[in-house]
Amino acid sequence: MPKVVYVGGAGQEHAVDATAGESVMAAAVKSGVPGIIGECGGNASCATCHVWVRDEFLHLLGEPGDEEEDLLEMAVSERRDGSRLGCQISVSPELDGLTVDVPPQQP
């Protein structure tokens, strides 16, 4: 089972066992990770699952699509190079250990 590590603003880590094929957002919501709201249920329409993917994992994800880019532009938290919507990242065995930072504010 791949692990995803969510790091909050104060440095607290929440390691979650995710199911392959599950989104980073769904794994967080299911496990009660603070700061990941997923208000739209993973339909890429709210940006309440905005995360900052750590640099060492970016090459494994590919580029965000146009719809994701538009939503990231509207996110309340600072946009960074590693900004992604958790609902658009599908967990896989290759992403075991994926570490994302949770912005201090979600919309």
Domains and CATH numbers, the chain: 3-101 (3.10.20.30)
* pLDDT for residue 106: 63
* pLDDT for residue 6: 98
84 burial via Cβ count (<10 Å: 0-12, 13-18, 19+): buried
- pLDDT tens for 25-64 read 999 999 999 999 988 888 888 889 999 999 999 999 989 9
Share of the chain above pLDDT 70, in %: 98
Query: With 80 as the cut, is the pLDDT of residue 11 above it?
Result: yes
61: left (phi over 0), alpha (psi -120 to 50) or beta: alpha
Q: Is the pTM of this model over 0.85?
A: yes
